[in-house]
Structures are given as C-alpha cells and as structure tokens.
Chains A and B, each alone.
Chain A
Amino acid sequence: MTTLEGFLIALAKTVVIFLGVVNVAALMTLAERKFSAWMQYRIGPNRVGPYGLLQPLADGVKFIFKEELTPAGANRFMFRAAPILAALPSMMTIAVIPFAPDIVIGGKNFGALTIADLDIGILYILALGGLAIYGVILGGWASNSKYSLLGSLRASAQMISYELTLILTILSVVVMSGSLNLREIVEAQSDITRWNAWNVHAMPQFVAFVLFVVATFAETNRHPFDFSECEPELVGGFHTEYSAMKWAMFYIGEYSAMTVMAALTVVLFLGGWSVPFWPDAPWYVGLAAMLAKTGCFLFLFLWVRWTLPRFRFDQLMRLGWKVFLPLALLNLVVTGAVVSLR
C-alpha cells in the first residue's frame, strides 16, 4: 500500500465518520422533538419534508439568519471562543471510536473503520472529553449574566464529580480487557465463549455499566442532570445570552457528545461491532450492529429526558460523591482482585 493510498483511505474514513456524526447530531434534534411528541400524545414536527425529516435543515437556515447578540459587558473574545470550545472536543473524540472491524472490499483490507487507532484511545477520549467543560464555563462567565454564571458553575462542579465515576468505571473495563485501545477492547469482548465476553451481557461489569451510563448523562449535561441549563431557575443556564449560530454550536456540541458517549458505551460494555453467536460476521453486519446498538443508547438519552424529573443540585452531588464514587471504586478493587487471582 503506497503512502498516497493510505492517505486517501484515512481521508475517506475521516470524512465518512465525521459527516456521520454531524448528521446524527442534526437528526438527534429532530428525534428529540419527535420522541418527546410521541410520548406526550403529539405528532411532532411534520411540515418540513416527509415526516419532518428536513426540519434540522430548516433549523440550520434559521440559526444562520438570526441576529447575533452580544450582551453589554461581555468579554467579546471569550464569548466568541466558548461555543467553538464546546463543540470541538466532542467532535474530536469521535476519532478513536471504532465503528466496524477490518473493512474488506473485493478481497482488499482497508483496516478498521476508525479515524485513529490509538493505543491510548480511552485516555484520548477522557482527556478531550474533559475539555468540553471549558466551553460551558467560559460561555457562562463571558456572558456577564448571573444566570449564565450560575449555570456554568453548576456544570463545572457536576462534570468534575461525575468524571471520576466515569474514569473509575472505564478502568474496570480496562482491567478486564487489558488494553486502553478501543479496538482491542471490542475484540476482547467479541469472543462469546470467553469469560469476559460481552462485558455487560456476561454480567461481570453490570455495576460499572449502570454507573457508567448514569455518569454519561451527567457528563453530557443531559436530563435528569441538566443543571447547567435548568430552565425554571436559570432561564437557559450557561447559554442564556447566546443566540443564532453561536447558540447552535452549543447544541451541536451537546448532541455530538451524546453520540460519542453512546458509541463509547457500546464499545466498552456491549461489545462494539460484535454480533452474538456469529463470531465471524462480515464487516458490514458488524457496522450495522454497532450503529444499531449506538442508536439504542441515543434513544435512551431521549427516553430518559422525557420520563424523569430533574434532580436537585445537592441530590446530584450527594449521589455522585457518596454513592457513585465509592461504588465505582469498590467495583474497580473487586475487578482487579478477581482478574489478578485468575
């Protein structure tokens, strides 16, 4: 394989995955409104395009043509930089998520469907995922508004608290599969006959799985943990003062973070592209399985939002520090003990 060929393949993968995520994020805005409507006996957007499928496009046009407002006393540079900082990290983290096993077309192997097959894949995701909070904090601070500031304060406290749980639960998975590379973690789970196959399915990491899923909700600032934008108290939270495309950037960031987190959950706990009882499934079946599993988790995000009431902030903190953290730590210790005793 020549250098040029390798470059073109990498470019093609990048374009496919990146466009896929951006489009999924856009469609999620529609899905959110559709599912919320259905759960409330309504129909949801259905005017733009068939079944309202072009609604995200119409929203995009609206965002572009809206007036941009900058509040008086705002720090202009930060105010502009914050939406970019919010959207960028979640889009960058998608680079290490493996979506399909080695793609073989016409007997030619194009490698796994992932932008970068990093050995420290999980660390990369955690490092960049932790940066998403800067957009929220700076956006809230630069707006020169008390609602924005309170929203971003809450968001930062919350994200720090739940990142610990997130990391500890991920570590349990890492201990079981013995690698920080996401592709290898999937491969460690794909063999159904092995004891740690299908990490959640075979039950050994069920506690970690539950903790992880809940922590992703907190990490992406989704319901029932969306204190940073808690409407009844804080108007819009950290993005109260934002309008037009800057505001849309925050939402693009949120929805792509959800997409990445859903994909990560599948990769870590549900065996990624592996299909149960069909160990040597072709790559396109694997890709379909991966997308289907990710879709289920994206649906879970929406489903929970329209079901549960919002927590109170002190409840959230108590839950994070006094319940989740000890449980995750205990789970990690037990996992480590079991793995090292085997």
Chain B
Amino acid sequence: MVIVKRKELSLAEKLYLPEVLRGLSVTFRKMFEPKVTRQYPEEPLPKTEVTRGQPRLVVNEDDAIACVSCGLCEAACPAYAITIDGGETDRAIEREPKRFDIDMLRCILCGFCEEACPKDAIYMSDELELADYSREALIYDIEKLKRPKAALQKRIDYVNRINKRWQTPSST
C-alpha cells in the first residue's frame, strides 16, 4: 500500500488568494516572453541534408534515371507504397522501369528505399509539402518523381559519407 503524504499547507496557501496572485504574476510575465510559434508557410522549417522528405528519382547527367527496376526498394518498402513494372532498354544498363509509382499517401518517409537501392537511383529529397484535390493525383509516377542530380546533391553526398562510415574493408 502506498501512503501519500500530502504537504502541510501554510496559512497563506490555505487562503488561496496569495497563491492566485502569484499564479497571475507568472502568466502576466509569460505574455511578454518571446513566442515560439513558427508562421509556417512564410517561415518554413529549416532544411538540411539530414531532412528526410519524400523519395525522388535522381536524373543523372545523361538525362536518364539510374533505376534498373531490380525491385529491391519495392521489397524494402514497409508501407507497400512503391510499384515497379520493369522493361528492357537500349541503354547500357539494359533494364529500366516502364512504370515506377510511389503512392505518396502511403509513403512514410522512412528512407528504406534509399538504403536498399544498389544503383543510387532513389534519394530522399527535402520536399515535405503534399497536398492535392484527389487521391489519384498523389500517386506519383516517374515524371513526377524525377529530380535533377544537382537538386539532390547535398543529400547524395551526405548518404555516401554516412555509408562510408559503416563500410568495413572486406565489404568493399
């Protein structure tokens, strides 16, 4: 059995009014302290390379994506947000996705696809805003997912740096 010992109140505390005044003074002082509110659309959140936004497909210097539709990201995705239909291509990589859809309403921004990708084709961008008038419009296809490499360069460098830290000599 737990016996709670209550604090014995002094007379001033029992009268309550002095304590009320004390509380009022606290709230009054707080009124003039700096505000923590962020005026969101005007003052967006600071974004760094660590920010894990929505996944995007990197468009390399040859104006094509590096994806070979191996399906590893599809398998890694815990939310089953990725759908890939593979196909052949005349390019040196021989295979490319005919369809690469990410359902942004299912995506949980976990970054597993980025980790799984063996061809450095998919990276987490710093884009976070997601709004549209229909569910269908939020299933992004390849065209909507494409981003030039320059836009994602900071994230790519960061991921490579982190990955290098965990690489053991034998695994390279």
Touch between A and B in complex, CB under 8 Å?
yes
Is residue B169 within 8 Å, beta carbon to beta carbon, of the partner chain? no
Contact of B24 among A35, A40, A41, A307 (CB under 8 A): A307
A307 / chain B contacts, CB cutoff of 8 Å: 20, 23-24, 26-27
**Number of chain A residues whose Cβ lies closer than 8 Å to a Cβ of chain B:** 14
Q: Is B30's CB under 8 angstroms from A41's CB?
A: yes
Residue of A nearest to B22 (CB): A307
Q: Is A41's CB under 8 angstroms from B27's CB?
A: no
Is residue B2 within 8 Å, beta carbon to beta carbon, of the partner chain? no
A306 / chain B contacts, CB cutoff of 8 Å: 27
CA distance A43 to B37 in the complex (A): 6
Is residue B33 within 8 Å, beta carbon to beta carbon, of the partner chain? yes
Q: Is B34's CB under 8 angstroms from A41's CB?
A: yes
Is residue B31 within 8 Å, beta carbon to beta carbon, of the partner chain? yes
Is residue B165 within 8 Å, beta carbon to beta carbon, of the partner chain? no
Is residue B28 within 8 Å, beta carbon to beta carbon, of the partner chain? yes
Residue of A nearest to B19 (CB): A308
Is residue B1 within 8 Å, beta carbon to beta carbon, of the partner chain? no
Is residue A210 within 8 Å, beta carbon to beta carbon, of the partner chain? yes
Q: Is B35's CB under 8 angstroms from A42's CB?
A: yes
CA distance A286 to B24 in the complex (A): 29
Contact of A304 among B24, B30, B39 (CB under 8 A): B24
Is residue B36 within 8 Å, beta carbon to beta carbon, of the partner chain? yes
14 extra A-B contacts, CB within 8 A, seeds A39-B31, A307-B27: A38-B35, A39-B30, A40-B30, A41-B30, A41-B34, A42-B35, A43-B35, A43-B39, A210-B17, A303-B28, A306-B27, A307-B24, A308-B20, A308-B23
A-B contact pairs, 6 of them (CB 8 A): A35-B31, A38-B31, A41-B33, A307-B24, A307-B26, A308-B23
B positions within 8 Å CB-CB of A: 17, 20, 23-24, 26-28, 30-37, 39
A positions within 8 Å CB-CB of B: 35, 37-43, 210, 303-304, 306-308
Per CB-CB distance, the 4 closest pairs between chain A and chain B, nearest first, are: A38-B31, A43-B37, A307-B27, A307-B23
